[in-house]
Amino acid sequence: MGRIERTFIEEEMEQSYINYAMSVIRGRAIPDVRDGLKPVQRRILYGMHELGLTPGKPHKKSARIVGEVMGKFHPHGDAAIYDTMVNMAQPFSYRYPLVDGQGNFGSIDGDVPAAMRYTEARLAPIATEFLEELGEETVEWMPNFDDSLKEPVVLPAKVPNLLMNGAWGISVGMTTQIPPHNLGELIDGIIYLMDHPEASVRDLMQFIPGPDFPTGGIIMGRAGIEEMYRTGTGKITVRGKATIEDDRIIISEIPYQVRKSALVEAIAAKVHSGDIDGISDLRDESDREGLRVVVELKRSANPNVILNRLYKYTPLERTFAAVFLVILDGNPRTLSLKEILNSFIDFRREVVRRRTEHRLKVARARAHILEGYRKALSNIERVIELLRAAKDSATAAAHLKEELALSDEQTDAILKMRLSQLTGLEREKIDTEYKEKLEEIKSYERILGSEEIL
């Protein structure tokens, strides 16, 4: 029978709540600064990778993908997994979608996606940049929820996904809201920061002037952007793009996370309430070519006044409250732009180091085997004689090791070959590959020996 310990209920409740909060923060709601992914997003990408759903392969039913992820890595319900996968496939939610969806994955109007049994998906081309180096010992692995499988702690992302696609999430007492950015601008900023470690936020803003939302829009002023980048928190005002054409206002871009249908409904409501006067008609003419909302004006109306009222009373203008809250070294931290970029640079440096060490190990192992082949080819008649005379493989191995001064690995490689394969080995090809491996080894050692090259 277990021992019963007496404790104050408020102390137990406090500690239990702290444990719960940290579990949610680390395990579900806040992205990792390194790959910019929450656990469920990471598991979806890894699960699709395990299913072989690369960009060139056929799409697979979403229900199959959700089942793979839930059954092996994320036992928190199929709805949460599918909702996340849908978001990762929506071009109006992600600046660079990581999932290539086929079927109804929702719309900017707020239409709900089809059930998972109807839709299909595979990895988007850019998602391969998260997974290509996974098999080269580049990251740490951990047991899954029932200790039956291993999953990556983080993906070896080649792109700064945290800023590229942004992030949003609500945790226990914490929230994160990171806007997406243009990938080319981020890469330019990273290169500059690597060359100029003392760069200021203003220096970086020469290359990363501000967020780049998938739905477009115009950010009003630079002060809010600079404050957000400098402190990791701040507010920026985002307006939809609208132009005046004769007696019409044409809206072609809307603020991030605003549904087009909600905007149209809000305009209609304000016209009905009298807050906005001078509008005679309102039409949604959006099609596959892009978004287009037409606001017809009365002849007596002043277009600029109407447009300003649209900004004031409807979601055509909204405030984006940014919080750069991430998981760094296992703990939640609010970071500045420079700190996020430096964290990614440090992560990529570690990934490249581990990848190079792995490739060096593989190249050395192959060169070692090729050395054995070269010894065998130089003494091919004696090798054949020993193999034919040996009563079993153990005897053959012992004789080969003694006669040719081979290692266990070299001996095993030779014994695994049939005599016809052994005699058919071409000395020139072996020598060429051996020289190539020696060059690779020198190259990898040069990379590992120089922090600058690394």
Options 3.40.50.720, 1.10.268.10, 3.40.220.10, 3.40.50.300; which CATH number does 360-449 get? Answer: 1.10.268.10
Q: How far apart are CA 66 and CA 70, in angstroms?
A: 6
Domain with CATH 3.90.199.10 in the chain: 31-159
Distances (CA, A) of 438 to 170, 177, 326, 364, 370: 52, 49, 43, 8, 11
pLDDT, residue 375, reads 87
Closest CA to 337 of 214, 200, 159, 195: 200
In CATH terms, the fold of domain 241-315 is Gyrase A; domain 2 (3.30.1360)
Alpha carbons 129 and 134: distance in angstroms, whole number: 10
Amino acid, res. 240: G
Q: Where do you find CATH 3.30.1360.40 in the chain?
A: 241-315
What pTM, to 2 d.p., does this model score?
0.89
Mean pLDDT by 10 residues, the chain (454 residues): 73 60 61 96 97 96 97 92 97 97 94 96 98 96 94 97 94 85 98 97 97 96 95 96 93 94 94 91 90 92 94 96 94 96 97 96 94 86 82 85 88 78 72 92 90 74
Eight-state DSSP code of residue 284: E
What is the pLDDT at residue 336? 97
The CATH number that domain 31-159 falls under is 3.90.199.10
Pairing of strands 120-123, 99-102: antiparallel
Q: Nearest CA to 161 among 18, 316, 45? A: 45
Residue 127, pLDDT score: 98
User: Which residue of the set 96, 118, 256, 373 is catalytic?
Assistant: 118
pLDDT number for residue 129: 97
Q: Check: CB of residue 208 under 8 Å from CB of residue 337.
A: yes
* CB of 291 closer than 8 Å to CB of 109: no
Is-catalytic flag, 118?
Answer: yes
CATH 1.10.268.10-classified regions of the chain:
360-449
